[in-house]
Amino acid sequence: MAVRWRIFWLLLALTIIAYIERTSVSVAGAKMMPDLHLSQVQLGWLETAFLISYTALQFPGAVAGGRLGARRMITLCGLLGVAAVLAMPAAPAFLSGAPLFVALLAAQFVLGMSQAPFFAMVSGALERWFPARDWAMAQGVNSCGIGLGAAAAPAIIASLMVALGWRAALVITALPVLGLVVWWWIEARDGPHLHPAVTPAELDHIGRRADERPANWRDAMRLVAHPSLAGLTFSYLLMNIAFYLIAYWSFLYLVQARGFSLLAGGFAAAAPPLAGAVGAGLGGLAVGACAARWGARRGLRIIPLITLPLAGLLLWTAVRLDQAWLALAALSASFGFLEMTESAFWTASMRIGRRDAPAAGGLLNTGGNLGGIIATPAVAYLSSHGGWNLPFEVGAACAALSGLAWLFIDPATPARAAEARSC
């Protein structure tokens, strides 16, 4: 197997397990709330603690990671994430009441820190290890891993919770990360020219970089002023309001509003992220084909312009259906259409950022997770006071507006004029 594919499959495995980590509390929350005397609003603040650090450190973490390199930064992220997840079940053994809640907030904050640069570093690694024509495919399959991780989390954690309790469920799901992190440290390098097993033929296939110098803050700040990256980030913010609504709250919605049991809800809540995984994979292929056929400027816009309004329509429809399983199907289809656009967003950021792809990805994901910070406490409050219809209606509108924003985005203009010829 070519070295670039070994790197790719390792990144995919790390992506899957990272997403299991980050969604574990939203699923375990159903048992944590009565066990630890937490309210649904407090659970929402635990999710928000993750999102605050995750969002605030996206861009600076990506710039720092660009200088440290993907090998060291992803290893650091993995080890810190394991410690944060293990702290959640450990804290109740020593604390209770308000101090316990503060400790849980701190653990979620650290988990957000650990994952803040991760996806931007994945984007930077793909930019280094694959030729530009393969970026959309690679991003699509990697986004498929996000869906697989999100789909696996409810079923795995709910099953472990029923059998062993929520504490054991979190411990068991955290431990495999250690093996993957060690494997990554042994196998990975920060570029194909640094890996002893890369042949000259593979290096030619990937394409030699004229400048492998890591980004600095001056280079990275140029990205902030790039109009298309700003528009891309705003569109991603709107899309992620809908994304977080489905990804973080489907389980409780199905249990509270649709009458699913705890175990049935755990398995049913896997349907939207599974649809998202399929959508991400198909989206990667479709975005790559459109870009090859019509060029990056037009081709990267086509899928978001079609699928984001469709996702909004299905999200609006889901809460108006009488049959629970039909509502689940509409919710799943909506998530699938949302995830078809991930490849377009991340490929566009790579084309704009080029060698500064981690920083561009960090800026993009900062906007995306601002959407999560907006959505998470709002959904927690509205769902516990006024029902589920309004959160879904707002999410539907945001998905549609996200699609329209692509009319004003040019993903074919790199931030560095000198790199325009290589796009």
* CATH number of the domain where residue 34 is located: 1.20.1250.20
How far is Cα 279 from Cα 269, in angstroms, rounded to an integer? Answer: 16
The CA distance from 390 to 375, in Å, is 12
What mean pLDDT do residues 107-132 have? 90
Q: CA 98 to CA 84: how far, in whole Å?
A: 19
Q: Could you give the percent of the chain with pLDDT greater than 70?
A: 94
Kindly report the backbone phi and psi dihedral angles of residue 163, in degrees, each rounded to the nearest multiple of 5, phi listed first. Answer: -85, -40
State the CB neighbour count (10 A cutoff) for residue 37: 12
Residue 183: is its pLDDT beyond 90?
Answer: yes
**Count of domains forming the chain:** 1
Q: Is the dihedral of CA 134, 135, 137, 141 positive or negative?
A: positive
* Range scoring the smallest mean pLDDT among 45-54, 63-72, 145-154: 145-154
- The dihedrals phi and psi of 256, each to the nearest 5 degrees, come to -80, -45
**Residue 421's pLDDT band (boundaries 50, 70, 90)?**
very low
Query: What's the confidence (pLDDT) of residue 385?
Result: 72
Radius of gyration of the chain (CA): 20
Reduce the DSSP state of residue 157 to 3 states and report it: helix
Return d(Cα 249, Cα 233) in angstroms, integer.
Answer: 23
Distance CA(34)–CA(38), nearest Å, equals 6
Band the pLDDT of 301: cuts 50, 70, 90: very high
**What pLDDT sits at residue 305?**
96
Judged by average pLDDT, the poorest of 151-155, 339-343, 369-373 is 151-155
Which candidate, 124, 11, 9, 8, places its Cα nearest to that of 58? 124
| Integer Cα distance of 73 and 215 in angstroms | 14
* Predicted confidence band of residue 254 (pLDDT cuts 50, 70, 90): confident
Mean pLDDT of all residues in 242-258: 80
Tokens of 362: 């960090």
| C-beta separation of 280 from 144 below 8 A | yes
As a whole number, mean pLDDT of residues 403-415 equals 85
Q: Which of 154-163, 321-330, 412-421 has the lowest mean pLDDT?
A: 412-421
pLDDT category of residue 150 using cuts at 50, 70 and 90: low
* Contact predicate 381/44, CB 8 Å: yes
Please state, in angstroms and rounded to a whole number, the distance separating the CA atoms of residues 32 and 25: 8
- How confident is the model at residue 418, as a pLDDT? 42
Residue 152's pLDDT band (boundaries 50, 70, 90)? confident
- Greatest C-alpha distance within the chain: 62
The percent of residues above 90 in pLDDT, for the chain, comes to 30
CA distance 216 to 201: 31
Contact 80, 141 (CB under 8 A): no
Q: Which pLDDT does position 51 carry in this prediction?
A: 79
Query: Could you tell me which residue, 339 or 20, shows the higher pLDDT?
Result: 339
The tens digit of pLDDT for each residue in 272-296 reads 888 888 998 899 999 999 998 998 8
- Whether the CB-CB separation of 372 and 55 falls below 8 Å is answered with yes
- Whole-number Cα distances in Å, 344 to 138, 271, 361: 11, 23, 12
Q: What range does the domain containing 79 cover?
A: 3-422
Position 212 scores a pLDDT of 53
Amino acid residing at 391: P
